Structure 1
């Protein structure tokens, strides 16, 4: 019989998500583009990507994504905090440095949706670009033997738990979008915008809205994670209910419009709770 974790003592986890825009400056350097405004260069980069993929995608490679938001929910015992790293006006280097500094100090378990294929590779390349130190994140057992068998970058380790990767049985043909799985489970899903609109919002200077959008993705991912903990036997149904209520109580203490909207669409008797 599986051992059930005490629902009042949730493991130290950081559920995270990032939002990005095309790295216009980097694209100019990589592809030798001298002329054109930022919007035109971004469009050219996407066009080149469509050619490269024979029309399958215009989504740029990870190293050409510029990070504009990193949001996370930190859950430690009965303490919960939803926030975005840094300040709205911070540049990319400051946001990424704050993320890795948090890992350096607290060493949480990371939880993501598609983090292994996108979020973390983006952060790797961008940290490389800015020369940001992340010693604990890159630890593989050289200084701490416990990281030899459970580190952040090995695919089958759980110091970083990519829910999409695991639920798809590590098969690309089985992957699903966060939005689709959230709606399948009766969760609110994305609110107000989609990932395809982040670039337009960024150009319009709507950085606060991007951070709020990112935080909603984090909340959906957190609730999927709780359901996963139930299905793999780390929570019984009573513990699952307790943890949902802990999160709901915390969100009720927040007064932001996007959090209130999420709560409205996550009703008490939703079929999201089996």
Structure 2
């Protein structure tokens, strides 16, 4: 069995906001005002990093085969989406996310549309069918698909006693990293989120009885060897 754990890092797309609200694209202040202070809709998120962890279950133990994070310092958004989709076409993995149904997958689809990227990999399996397990959204599943029961990734990791987000960083700091050209830090932050999601996945597998305690410990040891 093969899984691909992934996570997006994004910044606001003020150009898209300006187009939607018929604003002068050079007037960033007006675009920011139109965007508002709440969390932007998926349409208005420009992808600046995609973190991916590929893992395979061998003799009951989940072994990490690769961990990477492509970012805007290397490739533009179009290339990031196209490269991610090409991996889906090639491997057709089961996807694992934390809040992927509510954020990462819709953002990918909207941004592929906006950038004119053909993305057959996103349709290689029913990834957008909310209750199917082709795309396991741990946030949704653990909360019973009830928004009132959802928790954040870092809070859950702390409750479970496993490493979560990198100290001193959260999603709100991504734009500052991009503006400062700190793409290595951006990639490390993204990979840490992916690795945290993988550890929650292992806890969920243990909860389901899909792996026994020894396999769970061995799988966590695999994750502990990863160098961010």
Fold shared by both chains (TM-score > 0.5) = yes
Are 2:56 and 1:76 aligned?
A: yes
Of residues 5, 8, 21 in structure 2, which corresponds to 1:31?
A: 21
Which structure has the greater CA radius of gyration? Answer: 1
1:235 to partner: Cα distance:
0.5
Of residues 129, 141, 146 in structure 2, which corresponds to 1:171?
A: 146
Q: Are residues 166 and 29 of structure 1, via their aligned partners in 2, closer, same or farther at CA, if it must alter by over 3 Å?
A: same
- Give the Cα–Cα distance (whole angstroms) in 2 for the partners of residues 194 and 101 of structure 1: 28
Are 2:32 and 1:43 aligned?
A: yes
- Give the Cα–Cα distance (whole angstroms) in 1 for the partners of residues 138 and 117 of structure 2: 27
Q: Secondary structure at the match of 1:153?
A: coil
Q: Compute the RMSD of aligned alpha carbons.
A: 1.8
Of residues 73, 97, 109 in structure 1, which corresponds to 2:94?
A: 109
Question: Contact conserved, 1:24 with 1:41, CA < 8 A, in 2?
Answer: no
Q: Are residues 136 and 34 of structure 1, via their aligned partners in 2, closer, same or farther at CA, if it must alter by over 3 Å?
A: closer
Q: Secondary structure at the match of 1:27?
A: helix
User: Larger % of strand: which?
Assistant: 2
Structure 2: tracts of 5 or more residues without a match: 58-62
- Give the Cα–Cα distance (whole angstroms) in 1 for the partners of residues 123 and 74 of structure 2: 28
- Give the Cα–Cα distance (whole angstroms) in 1 for the partners of residues 30 and 75 of structure 2: 23
TM-score by length of 2: 0.91
1:32 to partner: Cα distance:
1.6
Q: Secondary structure at the match of 2:120?
A: coil
Q: Are residues 119 and 35 of structure 1, via their aligned partners in 2, closer, same or farther at CA, if it must alter by over 3 Å?
A: closer
User: Larger deviation: 78-87 or 171-180?
Assistant: 78-87
- Give the Cα–Cα distance (whole angstroms) in 2 for the partners of residues 208 and 235 of structure 1: 34
Q: Secondary structure at the match of 1:161?
A: strand
Which residue does the alignment assign to 1:241?
217
Q: Are residues 41 and 74 of structure 1, via their aligned partners in 2, closer, same or farther at CA, if it must alter by over 3 Å?
A: farther
Of residues 92, 109, 133 in structure 2, which corresponds to 1:158?
A: 133
- Give the Cα–Cα distance (whole angstroms) in 2 for the partners of residues 103 and 86 of structure 1: 18
1:36 to partner: Cα distance:
5.1
Deviation track 1:136-169 (CA, whole Å, cap 9, x = no partner) reads 4214xxxxxxx5xxx2111111110000000000
Q: Secondary structure at the match of 2:68?
A: strand
Which residue does the alignment assign to 1:228?
204
1:208 to partner: Cα distance:
2.3
